[in-house]
Amino acid sequence: MGDKLKVAVIGGGSGGYPAAIRAARLGAEVTLIEKDSLGGVCLNRGCIPTKALLQSGEILKTIKDSGIFGIKCGDGKVDFRAVISRKNSVIQKLRQGVERLLSAKKISIIKGTAMLIDPSTVQILETENKIKVDKIIIATGSRPTKLNINGFDGPDVLDSDKFLEMEDLPKSAVIIGGGAIGVEFGQIFNRMGVEVTILELMENLVPETDKEIAQAFEKRIIEEGIKVFTKAEVKGITHGKALKTITFAVGEESKKCNAERVIVTTGRRPDLSYLNVDTIGLAQENSTLIVNDHMETNVPGVYAVGDVVGGIMFAHVATAEGECAAKNAIGQESTISYKAIPSCIYTSPEVASVGLTEEQAKVKFDIHVGRFPFYASGRALVLNQTYGMVKIIAERKYGEVLGVHMIGPHATDMIAEAVLGISMEMTVEDLAHAVHPHPTLSEAVMEAALSLSGGAINMP
Amino acid sequence: MPIEIVMPKLGLTMTEGLIIEWKKKEGDEVKKDEVLFVLETEKVTFEVESPEDGVLGKILIQEKETVPVGTVVAYLLKPDESISDLEEIKPPPEKEEVKAELLFAQEPSLPSQEKVSRETRIKASPLAKKIAKAYNLDLHTVEGTGPGGRIIKEDVEKAYEKMQKEAASLHPKVEEAPAQKLVTFTGMRRTIAKGMLASKVETAQTYMSNTVDATKIVEYRRILLPYIQEKFGIRMTITDIMMKITGAAICQHPIINTRWTDEGILYLEDVHMGMAMALDEGLIVPVIRHINKKGLAQIAKDRIELIQKGKENRFLPDNITGSTFTLSTMGMFDIEHFTANINLPESAILAVGAIIDKPVIIDREMVIRPMLNVTLTYDHRIIDGAEAGKFMRTLKSFIENPIFIIA
């Protein structure tokens, strides 16, 4: 027993628990320290609960649209407490799943807050127990940032954590921040009958996305009945008796809007509280930990993964980093690659991207762009979800696939093909000439690629 | 069926040939007897002509490639055939065997190793493959850094950059030393070098020189020249006479017409006279066979033909092998006296200088006579000085009185 490499993983979220499992699979004796719930933000306060709520909204939408399919079942009614309880049961199941996976690998789980004593000692704040280890993987995640705006601290101003803990629906809500989280929250509310306004500082909603896709998305969101103000700079929140008033500026013009609740989704920052990173001299930059491409910090044997290292704060990135760190900790060299990281928005229509946007690609490459709209897809028509398209950006000379962007049904699942394609350095010919099953939405990928390699079949 | 164009066997000793130049491109129309390609063996370059009218369908062996005799180097399409007829043809496997067998003597395992490595699977991304093809870069030379050693775009671009840099770094060197020029060895130069060095290292070269009165040969040539010219249309030279006389002298001294072998000294019956000849590419020694049985006109005719072939690069290997004694002349450069290097496996060589008018003492009187220096280089392992002396004495008497050779 004594000759096993000892690894402590601090944090049991999307970065930490896969790191723990990988290290255990590679033969290490692993201790995982989690101060809250296994599964981290993603499972408890992020991806999973949001998707659960979105799904309830989607069901309601399906019921409302059921007449189109020849099914009569009225308009449907929201029982928000049941919606919340269903969300919680999904979380509960997944959390138990993580726990079972960890114990199956004989990983000891300590519930507590970890503090670093030295590069091979971790102390548990609550019990003062000290754990001696050979390697440490820090995966403590992130917290929502606080906006420095007048009135931010008032009641009924919720961050994403509090949003997901809500037990009733307001009549109206203003969402500050039109990124992925903001628009997902907006759609949840909107589908359930809440009057929603989204304020976004940049030119478009989901501003990180390819512009054409972002604009198509924004158009759809507005059509659904969400009020959107872009280039909107929030100045302050005043708290009235029933309503909050949000003051914001669009250019020179000052505007106001009212709502029962205000949701702030403007970003997250690494959570390094209690860790005492300075005691062992971990290098930081803008309060994120600095790591190399082996996910190792400046202190040998101490690794950091997930939101604490900043960069792209996605669960799937944290997982990839966690695996990479675990392998290196065990002595198997592994290098992280951020070349093909998909990003997804789980609204309806879904938005998914990998690689460069058209705007980014144009700067560096001679490109051409292939598109295929879902209105030309048989499967999309069957689903009655014909809004959207697949867009492929390829370098002109060799046909390197630089970026793939999708808006439409199941885009977040379909992007995986493009992720594989880009990470394997496939060319548009490769995508175009792989036979895709019919009738599926995935044919749109093939057709978009074909439009850059000999011409599409199902588009004029 | 398209016609196979093969690497011809130009002589008994030829095992392989290097294609120097294709005179026709794929798709070119070709007439019968038009030159298809030029090949080089160790000894000669040779133009290979088309056996039929047709179109050069496919070139299998490119320029600068050496292949064994009998290898199919191209396909000629007959007038009624098209390129699609080629698709049915697979390279005949027995040729591969021939190749392996012939190469075995020189490079036993290289060809097969090469083949194996060519066939091993390369792990490379589709994009990397495409770019490598565009750069004309062999992926075998590229190190992969992708997952599992896969070659990715970045690896190809780095390899290409490196290749470019290396190519660029070669140029400045040349520019720094413009007075230098490196001419890579031709097969012919290698052969000359090998032969010459072996001659110096492996034989006991010894020299014997004499100056003889050339009055009679000059006179006889003057008499015979118009006669032979009229009768045979050929211009006879002093060299022809010297070769005839030397051949006759050799017949009197069989020790000169010999070869050193491991078992002993091999006496050769026939005298095949090699005549050293300078081509642009280097020294070559075409052969006049059975010179002892040939008249002057025939010798002159042979010589002229050989020179013509040499100028036109049309020598067949048999034109330039098998000499038993060699004669080298430097009269055209006004060289009075020189020594020559034995042309292995011969035992001796005669260096013939320019005929120069000189004062000589005849009957205690000083007279001016056309004089000729002849220098024998002989392999002292075989030929003792006395034997060489006897030969030189006979040679001198024959030169000074050519009528003796008809005795």
| N-terminal to C-terminal alpha carbon distance within chain A | 68
CA–CA distance, A60 with A68 (Å, rounded to integer): 14
Per the structure block, which two tokens stand in for A254? 């000052």
The answer to whether the CB atoms of A427 and B128 lie below 8 A apart is: no
A311: left (phi over 0), alpha (psi -120 to 50) or beta: left
CA–CA distance, A111 with A122 (Å, rounded to integer): 13
SS3 A353: strand
For the domain made up of A343-450, give the CATH fold. Enolase-like; domain 1 (3.30.390)
Q: Are residues A19 and A8 in contact, defined by beta-carbon separation less than 8 angstroms?
A: no
Contacts 24+ apart (CB under 8 A), B163-172: B163/B135, B163/B137
Q: What is the pLDDT of residue B110?
A: 39
pLDDT mean across residues, chain A: 94
Q: What is the pLDDT of residue A405?
A: 98
**Chain A residues touching B128 at Cβ < 8 A:** 425
Q: What is the pLDDT of residue B179?
A: 66
Candidate from A163-177, A373-387, B276-290 with smallest mean pLDDT = B276-290
Per the structure block, which two tokens stand in for A161? 């954590």
The one-character DSSP state at A267 is: -
Closest Cα in chain B to A339? B146
pLDDT (tens digit per residue) in A52-111: 999 999 999 999 999 999 999 888 999 999 999 999 999 999 999 999 999 999 999 999
Tell whether B291 is within 8 A of chain A (Cβ).
no
Q: Kindly report the nearest CA distance between residue B86 and chain A, in angstroms.
A: 29
Per-residue pLDDT band for B192 (boundaries 50, 70, 90) equals confident
Per-residue pLDDT band for A442 (boundaries 50, 70, 90) equals very high
Mutate to test the interface with B, among A398, A402, A426 (most CBs of B within 10 A): A398
Question: Nearest by CB to A398, which of B130, B146, B152?
Answer: B130
Q: Which CATH homologous superfamily contains domain A157-266? A: FAD/NAD(P)-binding domain (3.50.50.60)
**Chain B residues touching A429 at Cβ < 8 A:** 126
CA–CA distance, B389 with B387 (Å, rounded to integer): 5
**Chain B residues touching A399 at Cβ < 8 A:** 127, 130
> Helix axis angle, B93-104 relative to B110-119, nearest 10°?
130
Q: What percent of chain B has pLDDT over 70?
A: 89
CATH architecture of B121-176: Irregular (4.10)
The answer to whether the CB atoms of B125 and A399 lie below 8 A apart is: no
Domain boundaries, chain A: 6-143+269-330, 157-266, 343-450
**Chain B residues touching A397 at Cβ < 8 A:** 134
Quick one: which H or E segment has residue A182? helix A180-191
Closest Cα in chain A to B131? A398
Q: What is the pLDDT of residue B87?
A: 67
State mean pLDDT over B119-148. 84
Q: What percent of chain B has pLDDT over 90?
A: 35
Tell whether B152 is within 8 A of chain A (Cβ).
yes
CA–CA distance, A68 with A85 (Å, rounded to integer): 30
Quick one: which H or E segment has residue A84? helix A80-104
The answer to whether the CB atoms of A424 and B130 lie below 8 A apart is: no
The answer to whether the CB atoms of A425 and B134 lie below 8 A apart is: no
Q: Kindly report the nearest CA distance between residue A427 and chain B, in angstroms.
A: 6
Q: Are residues A145 and A307 in contact, defined by beta-carbon separation less than 8 angstroms?
A: no
Residue B37 backbone dihedrals phi, psi, to 5 degrees: -150, 165
Under 8 Å CB-to-CB from B208, ≥6 apart: which residues?
B375, B376, B378, B385, B388, B389, B392
CA neighbor of A8 nearest in space, from A145, A124, A90:
A124
CB pairs under 8 A between A and B: 26
Per the structure block, which two tokens stand in for A449? 């690629």
State mean pLDDT over B262-285. 88
Span A6-143+269-330: which CATH code? Answer: 3.50.50.60
**Chain A residues touching B145 at Cβ < 8 A:** none
CA–CA distance, B27 with B37 (Å, rounded to integer): 14
SS3 A118: strand
pLDDT above 60 for B104: no
CA–CA distance, B295 with A10 (Å, rounded to integer): 107
Under 8 Å CB-to-CB from A41, ≥6 apart: which residues?
A13, A14, A141, A142, A307, A315
Q: Are residues B69 and B103 in contact, defined by beta-carbon separation less than 8 angstroms?
A: no
Determine whether A36 is exposed, middle or buried from the number of CB atoms within 10 Å of its CB (0-12, 13-18, 19+): middle
Query: In chain A, what's the furthest Cα-to-Cα distance?
Result: 70
Number of Cα atoms under 13 Å in the Cβ half of residue B355 = 17
Q: Are residues A325 and A296 in contact, defined by beta-carbon separation less than 8 angstroms?
A: yes
Q: What is the pLDDT of residue B170?
A: 62
Bridge partners, residue B213, by sequence: B371
The answer to whether the CB atoms of A427 and B127 lie below 8 A apart is: yes
CA–CA distance, B26 with B60 (Å, rounded to integer): 10
* Number of Cβ atoms within 10 Å of the Cβ of A343: 19
CA neighbor of B273 nearest in space, from B337, B335, B346, B199:
B346
Closest Cα in chain A to B128? A425
Chain B residues 321-340 within an 8 A CB cutoff of chain A: none
Q: What is the pLDDT of residue A308?
A: 96
> Is the Cα dihedral B334, B339, B345, B346 positive or negative?
positive
Quick one: which H or E segment has residue A199? strand A195-199
Q: Are residues B34 and B24 in contact, defined by beta-carbon separation less than 8 angstroms?
A: yes
Q: What is the pLDDT of residue B89?
A: 62
**Whether residue A405 lies in the annotated active site:** no
Sheet with strand A114-118: strands edge to edge: A114-118, A121-124, A130-132
**Chain A residues touching B126 at Cβ < 8 A:** 424-427, 429-430
For the domain made up of B3-104, give the CATH fold. OB fold (Dihydrolipoamide Acetyltransferase, E2P) (2.40.50)
Per-residue pLDDT band for A404 (boundaries 50, 70, 90) equals very high
Q: Residue with structure tokens 């359930």?
A: A192
**Chain A residues touching B153 at Cβ < 8 A:** 400, 425
pLDDT above 80 for B254: yes
pLDDT above 60 for B118: no
Q: Kindly report the nearest CA distance between residue B127 and chain A, in angstroms.
A: 6
Bridge partners, residue B287, by sequence: B274
State mean pLDDT over B378-400. 94
**Chain A residues touching B130 at Cβ < 8 A:** 398-399, 427
Q: Residue with structure tokens 């014909």?
A: A386
Per the structure block, which two tokens stand in for B178? 């413009």
pLDDT above 50 for B392: yes
CA–CA distance, B234 with A155 (Å, rounded to integer): 123
Candidate from B103-112, B188-197, B206-215 with smallest mean pLDDT = B103-112
Q: What percent of chain A has pLDDT over 70?
A: 100
The one-character DSSP state at B64 is: T
Q: Kindly report the nearest CA distance between residue A339 and chain B, in angstroms.
A: 12
pLDDT above 50 for B26: yes
Per the structure block, which two tokens stand in for B336? 């009075």
Q: Residue with structure tokens 């001659």?
A: B199
The verdict on pTM exceeding 0.90 is: no
CA neighbor of A214 nearest in space, from A197, A234, A228:
A228
A144: left (phi over 0), alpha (psi -120 to 50) or beta: beta
Determine whether B333 is exposed, middle or buried from the number of CB atoms within 10 Å of its CB (0-12, 13-18, 19+): exposed
CA distances (Å), B158 to each of A172, A211, A395, B153, in order? 58, 33, 19, 9
Q: Do domains A6-143+269-330 and A157-266 have the same CATH topology?
A: yes
CA distances (Å), B156 to each of A137, A244, A402, B82, B123, in order? 35, 60, 17, 38, 12
Chain B residues 90-149 within an 8 A CB cutoff of chain A: 125-128, 130-131, 134, 146
Mutate to test the interface with A, among B125, B137, B153, B155 (most CBs of A within 10 A): B125
Quick one: which H or E segment has residue A189? helix A180-191
Q: Which regions of B78-204 does DSSP assign to beta strands (E)?
A: none
Radius of gyration of chain A (CA): 24
CA–CA distance, B162 with B167 (Å, rounded to integer): 8
Amino acid at site A112? G
Q: What is the 3-state secondary structure (H, E, C) of B365-404?
A: EEEEEEEEEEEEEEECCCCCHHHHHHHHHHHHHHHHCHHH
Q: Kindly report the nearest CA distance between residue B148 and chain A, in angstroms.
A: 11
The answer to whether the CB atoms of A430 and B126 lie below 8 A apart is: yes
For the domain made up of B188-406, give the CATH fold. Chloramphenicol Acetyltransferase (3.30.559)
pLDDT (tens digit per residue) in B38-67: 888 777 778 888 888 888 888 888 888 888
